[in-house]
Structure 1
């Protein structure tokens, strides 16, 4: 509960009047002081009344590309039974406050407000909670309370159409990709038998040992697999304006474009960040944060190892489904971690998650292309996208295919111009 400046003044006046009235035996001053004190007390009681409100909100749509339109529909219902509510309310939409009129909201009635969600910047826009302020008629006391929860609106990077997709060193057995003449199907794991499985895939020896039918699960290792590695180190994107690194935003657009193009070509794709989990203040020192980042790297390593090609991280809607790679790109931010790239490249070399590696970085990451180039033994095709560099990257740097671009649109044009992956 907060007392306004008017309330403070009236409360001070009440004390002075009561003191003067009692001290000098002026009943008129005492009466005025008592009236002022009573008014402040009444205002506190009125403001303390808690209206019973039910708040629901719906985003349409809740996932958009940067610059696209998104709206929020807010419905406030008075679930009380006794009196109408006249309140001041505002909804929180990112860093902006949206006024919500709640004048004479009768019991059982509701009011609906619709407003646009800002999508100028990539990220997650948190909408809510609704802040309802209750004031007394004299404006002496004001009390604000939150109602309802928060709803995220995911602003994804823009997607630029790519006509070319790396086919890797393998070949799809169903004829989708014909880069090389040989392919194979490799054993991945055992699982329990379900109705519809072919009996020729039953592993009889294991089934006899465990007492139930176990089926071999195979993966097509010849199907080209694309690994997109986005450099989210702060050192790789040193130039920022208004807290935004244009080179990192361009890298996010390029990553989203490659992931979407791979999905449309029906190719497995994995999206990774150089620093998968940023260090938070409660983790303590920078060394603690680096240890946590390495732990997160080990986490996605084991997850991808278990899932094989099925850990493509691409949902049926081109990665736009909840929890998909475009959501992770929307939530991605720059992190300070000098050793993250070394740890990530070490794990990529050890686990070999695919045969085509796409590394997207900024001008500050050009000095680390040697570490990425060392992965060519594990990844036959390595493509590097460098964004925001003042000068072109020397051709053939570290034996890599390098695409220099200023933004996502230029990256798409240069990408489609690459003749040999």
Structure 2
């Protein structure tokens, strides 16, 4: 609850009139001062009355690509005991921690027991996470002396994904034979992985009867595709790798996010396991759920540029060298990160295939390929075209 400038002015004038009236014996001035003070006290009591509202929120859809439409629908019901309410309401709708972006929500003569529905579009012009809510309702007295703002309802989030450009090609898998040779194959080779409990829908021909008899419950053999291409995308989110960064965004980094989204979409379309890792340390993978890229695209929507530790890339490459979650590594960076390419090219031992995607404007002196596949592009669309033009990974 806050007192407006008009309220402070009225309080000051009322106090002055009371003082002058009592000191110099002017009862009329004292009465005017008392009326001013009583008006402010009444305004405080009016603003203290909390409107009793039930607010529900629906977002359709809550995950969209950049530029696509999303709508927030608010359902507000007056469940108070008193009459109609006319209030000033604003719903927060902004990026990240920005709480200044609001949308006006008209609440005119909302009678007791009645409800109103208000819809508005969500801004999706840029990649990121849009935070919506809570609904801020401001109650003012008729004279505008006091204002009280309270939050109502829950909050929601809308993930705005980067654009994904169509890619036809995917890297080939690595098949390890018994004599140690490495053969690239476009499809997988099924092999036994582990035993697990039977679930409804499993084929009976996969039941391991000897183990089932020993443990007293049905156990089935689970197979994996050892030569299925496993793709790892390492996205450079260090501020120093993107020299064109401004206070809000960086178009070159947005192009890198589009390139990563294009790779993720192509891999999921082909039912290939893929892992996305940021240099800052956050990571997501498709896991065992085929055909779903939600976790990876959510991570891309949440990614931002910030001042990272100088050893962040060293830590990321050491982690990849130790755990090696795939056999094809794609490193996406900007023109400011060409000085650290040696750290990534050092992963050619653990990873049979390493590619570097560099996004940003062309330079007078372009960096060399340093012994790995170099995918040079200015934006996400050009990166997709360069990707499809690769003859062999």
Which structure has greater helix proportion?
Answer: 1
Mapped partners of 2:192, 2:315: distance in 1: 29
360, 368, 391: which is aligned to 1:388? Answer: 360
What is aligned with 2:24?
Answer: 24
Q: Which residue matches 2:97?
A: none
Matched, 1:10 2:10: yes
Q: How does 1:172-211 map to 2 (within 5 A)?
A: 179-180=184-185, 184-195=189-200, 196=202, 198=204, 201-202=207-208, 204=210, 208=214
How far residue 201 of structure 1 moved from its aligned partner, in angstroms, is: 4.7
Deviation of the 1:216 alpha carbon:
4.3
Query: Match for residue 334 of structure 1?
Result: 305
The TM-score normalised by the length of structure 2 is: 0.89
Moved more, 24-33 or 34-43: 24-33
Cα 1:42–1:182 change in 2 (3 A) is closer
Structural RMSD (CA)? 2.5
Instruction: Tell whether the 8 Å contact from 1:70 to 1:116 is kept in structure 2 after alignment.
Output: yes
Q: Does 1:144 align with 2:149?
A: yes
Range moving further from structure 2, 83-92 or 185-194 = 185-194
User: Alpha-carbon deviations, 1:180-218, whole Å to 9, x = none?
Assistant: 49965455444334354547653846974x665554433
Secondary structure at the residue paired with 1:399?
Answer: coil
The 5 A counterparts of 1:288-299 are none
8 Å contact from structure 1 (residues 389, 404) kept in 2: no
- Determine the C-alpha separation between the residues in 2 that align with 1:24 and 1:415: 90
User: How many angstroms apart in 2 are the aligned matches of 1:393 and 1:169?
Assistant: 31
- Contact persistence 1:158–1:256 (CA under 8 A): yes
Q: Do residues 316 (structure 1) and 322 (structure 2) align?
A: no
User: Would you say how many aligned residue pairs link Structure 1 and Structure 2?
Assistant: 379
Deviations 1:88-120 (A, max 9, x none): 111111052211111111011122222221111
Q: Which residue is 2:127 aligned to?
A: 122
Instruction: Give, in whole Å, the separation in 1 of the partners of 2:291 and 2:270.
Output: 12
- For residue 26 of structure 1, report the CA deviation from its aligned partner: 2.1
Task: Deviation per CA, 1:114-157: give whole Å up to 9, x if none.
Answer: 22211111000101111111000011111111111211111100
Aligned ranges for residues 155-166 of structure 1 at < 5 Å? 155-166=160-171
Richer in strand (by share): 2
Q: Who is 1:293 aligned against? A: none
Q: Which structure 2 residue ranges, 5 or more long, are not aligned?
A: 95-99, 177-182
In structure 2, distance between residues paired with 1:348 and 1:87: 56
